[in-house]
Chain A
Amino acid sequence: MIAAALLVLAAACAFPRQSPAPLELDPRTLPHAQTGAWKDFDPKQLKASDLPPGMLQVKRALEEQDFPSALAGLQETLRQSPDFPPAWHQLGVLYFRLQRYGDGAACLERYLEVAPQRLGDTRVLAHCYYSLGDYTKARAHYERVLAVHPDEVEALRGHALSRMRLGEPQEALAELERVLAIAPRHGDVWEWKAQILFDEEHSEEALAAAEKARSIDPFSPRAWFLCGRICADLGRDEEAARANRRFQELNSISSELRQIESDLLYKPGAVALLERIAQLHARMGDVASTRADLARLFGSAPSALGPRIFGLELLADLGDFEAARLVAQKLEQLGADDAATWQRLEQFYARAKDRAKQVEAGERYRRLGGK
């Protein structure tokens, strides 16, 4: 609802960059409004004209995954409009994504102070407590959220995992089953189910759950890890070794992916990092993720030829000619006057066995001075 209100806001107002730098600001020091100022806040009633200037840019920055800019915008919004609830909420979620869980919790606690009626929006506050290792507090807050939204999948999942961490595996398992009844293809929940069953020495059932997780997400290193571990425990050594090999392949890629994603949090739009992510997913054979990575890469440099040529070749190497053709079409527009682009297109169409397009691209290439 908040996002919808933001979408209709036409005016784009620039927010000034304030000191200190956004990452060095303690959100607890942001100004507060008078008590009760937002007690009747209801996002459904929020009109575009009610939004503080700058929130649209925050939205755009978030869409571009430019978190430092979004952080700066939200902090400035809260300076200009103290305690504006959507800004506290968004800031809390953003700190959570930046893995600054204490700051995330502080923002969402403030959100609840100024808009206590919005309890149902604060699942991420429980995630923050969980990530800080305070499982008792996490469990309690998940329960508060679930009292408002009893079937909220991620709150149920978080509640189950908190109970597991607190030494209640059977209760955790029962809750994970409830999640799976609502979201039967939740791969991560199948993995946790497998883990708990395995820890409780129910290896056959655990293996079935791990295999289900693997069938849902065949690129999840953890699913392979669990299959391997459980097979080893069951004495199925060959299967265990096979799963372990695949786990190691996927895990080494995943480790690098995590590192790059972590770097991207603070260096948004770094083309080399975005290209590397796409390469890694392609190496996994994960077509859907590679496509998503390339969309993110192209979005970071909409008119640049280099990233698209990179994407074209990567998709062709992956055998995803359907997506590659779309990239080629865009390249034909963007690089209409660029000989090198047409040369690459000629090579691509040759690989795609599209003779007519190959000839056409070759002619364009030579017409533009290519040899």
Chain B
Amino acid sequence: MIQAPIQEPPALFEEIGEQALPGVRTTCGSPEKNYILEVNGGGVLLGDFDGDGKIDVVIVDGSTIERAAKGEPGLPPRLFLGKGDGSFAPAPEAWKLSGGRWGMGGTVGDYDGDGWLDLVVTQWGPTRLFHNEAGHGFREVTEGAGLGPGAWGTSAAFLDYDRDGKLDLFVVEYLEFDTAKVHSRAEGTCTWKGHPVMCGPEGLTPLRSRLFRGSGDGHFQDVSAAAKLDEAPPAFGLGVMTLDFDLDGDTDIYVTNDSTPNQLWENLGDGTFRDVGFQRGVSHDANGREQASMGIACGDWNGDGRDDLFVTNFSGENDVLYSSSKGAGFRERSGSASLSGPTLPLLGWGTCFGDFDLEGDLDLAVFHGHVYPQADSLGTDTSYAQPDTLFENDGKAHFSSRPLSSLGPAVSRACAPADLDGDGDLDLLALRVEGPVRVLRNRALHDERHHWLGVRLRARGGNRFALGARVSLVWKGGGTSAEMRTAGGFQAAVPAELHFGLGSVDKLEKLHVRWPDGSAQDFEVALVDRMLQLEQRAP
């Protein structure tokens, strides 16, 4: 009997960057990558900045060694306003942002409680702050904001760590970099697998992350020492995630570091933090080795009511799934979840959980690409351009992998998920090094077995977008929950909204919100397949 050839299902995502963001590219140094400054790529910051209900994007751009050497500003961050169909238009002049030194990433949040999303841009240099002028443009307010000095900020996150209703800011710092002091790849000083490569991070000076307490009026105070963040050794910080890992109602912080142990900053509720990464099992791999970690995805992949962490790493170190366990610790489940083998030869950056196929459980998107163009040399067991991967959760504690799209191998970096075209599934936006910005449209099925619900929250007080709130859905025989955040892991910010894939669930019994101030509220939600905006009731 002649069997029909087995056909791979079409990739879930369609690359529409050429139509959605035509001609938009980013720059990060030279293609040769002579210095470590040239490898991170830029940032992707998503949010509805003009308040029209459609997701917009700020693309944070970099610079070149030559521009930096001449003291010229880097390429400016650019806002593109979402049209609601997955495509974007350049924002009007009022939104124009000036170039800084060398942009990396940043975050999004309403730091002054006026109901409009403001912007933070991290860079090689001091962190920058932009105020949203009621949906009509950005105004830089860095000077006097108190975010200095800053040497090389990579990722950032807004949170309300002290629950005073005013957003605070956490900035991850990487390393001290000075072209005059760091050897160029061309000098042949540093090698990897016998090939000359750019130097670092080993041998360079790591930095400490900074915590800035917000006053709600655009002024921040560096409270890193008072919060006891300075008690940990400096590290090569790259990614950040906010989460309440111990479910005690306050926001904790997870930081991924390059070649130094990752940190889980437990919020002790008295204005201080303690790094419990070792105790909770999220600082090293199972061999007790620190990894070169970049991206972070956070979500409850196994439906146990606690958030889990997925961390992307260097090639030769598999990506790691830290699954929450009893007692607020984590266990590595990469192997049993079928995530370690496929990710071992790859170098991961941006990553996110999301129910991309709307089957009712969280899948994973991972963007890859090596730091060394020399990865294409003989004998490295890897390559510079690498395939991006969709890990589909089978609902039985395993993931199966397939390409995210038909693009093929690319040198990708930061990514962020959002429903860009308003059809109820999560699309993706990602950056490529020296390439066009990628927009990936989700082609998930929408039928009686593929339902969804979107939730936006509006809290009382200054933390208007309710960062840190937890939303739980309850239906007959099951439920799920998620935390509101804008932190997007590596050099990314996600919209202040939650997306739940529901599978065949088309009726909810209850929607429960634990607001950032600790109060709780239940909502009756009759219908799914829609975006809800829920207001916190008056006291």
Contacts and interface: CB of A to CB of B under 8 A. Distances in A.
Do the two chains belong together in a single complex? yes
B193 A226 contact: no
B344 A225 contact: no
For A99, A199, A224, A266, which residue has the most chain B Cβ atoms within 10 angstroms?
Answer: A199
A298 interface: no
Interface string A126-138: 0000001111100
Chain B interface, >50% SS class: loop
B306 to A, nearest CB: 15
B320 to A, nearest CB: 12
A135 B341 contact: yes
Contacts of A101: 381
Contacts of B381: 99-102, 132
Interface stretch (A33-41, A57-65, A163-171): A163-171
Contacts of A228: 278
A323 B177 CA distance: 45
Contacts, number: 90
A75 B314 CA distance: 31
Given A167-B336, A167-B337, A169-B336, A266 B191 contact: yes
Interface in A166-214: 166-167, 169, 195, 198-199, 201
B326 interface: yes
A233 B128 CA distance: 41
A132 B381 CA distance: 7
Nearest to B323: A199
A307 B441 CA distance: 64
A281 interface: no
Contacts of A103: 378-379
B412 interface: no
Nearest to B325: A201
A255 interface: yes
Chain A interface, >50% SS class: helix
A247 B318 CA distance: 22
Contacts of A26: 378
Nearest to B334: A165
Contacts of A219: none
A266 B194 contact: yes
Contact of B341 (A133, A226, A229, A259): A133
B288 A201 contact: no
A263 B191 CA distance: 8
B520 interface: no
Contact of B331 (A135, A199, A221): A199
Interface stretch (B156-164, B279-287, B428-436, B485-493): B279-287
Interface string B450-480: 0000000000000000000000000000000
Interface string B164-195: 00000000000000000000000000010110
Interface in A24-61: 24-26
B340 interface: yes
Given A199-B331, A199-B332, A247-B288, A165 B340 contact: yes
A324 B316 CA distance: 40
A225 B337 CA distance: 23
Interface residues of B, number: 38
Nearest to A138: B341
A164 B333 CA distance: 10
B341 A222 contact: no
B484 to A, nearest CB: 30
A87 interface: no
A23 interface: yes
A95 B335 contact: no
B273 to A, nearest CB: 17
Contacts of A100: 193, 379-381
A269 to B, nearest CB: 16
Contacts of A132: 344-345, 381
B398 A233 contact: no
Contacts of B341: 133-136, 165-166
Contacts of A115: none
A244 interface: yes
A222 B288 contact: yes
B327 interface: yes
Contacts of A265: 194
Interface string A102-132: 1100000000000000000000000000001
A133 B340 contact: yes
Contacts of B343: 133
Given A133-B318, A201-B326, A228-B278, 18 more contacts: A23-B378, A24-B378, A98-B193, A98-B379, A103-B379, A132-B381, A166-B335, A195-B286, A198-B331, A229-B278, A232-B280, A232-B329, A233-B327, A255-B289, A255-B290, A263-B191, A266-B191, A266-B194
Interface of B: 191, 193-194, 202, 278-281, 284, 286-290, 316, 318, 325-327, 329, 331-333, 335-338, 340-345, 378-381, 398
15 contacts: A23-B194, A23-B379, A25-B378, A95-B379, A132-B344, A133-B341, A133-B343, A134-B341, A136-B341, A195-B286, A198-B331, A199-B331, A226-B288, A232-B280, A266-B191
Closest 5 A/B residue pairs (Cβ): A133-B344, A225-B288, A100-B379, A167-B336, A232-B279
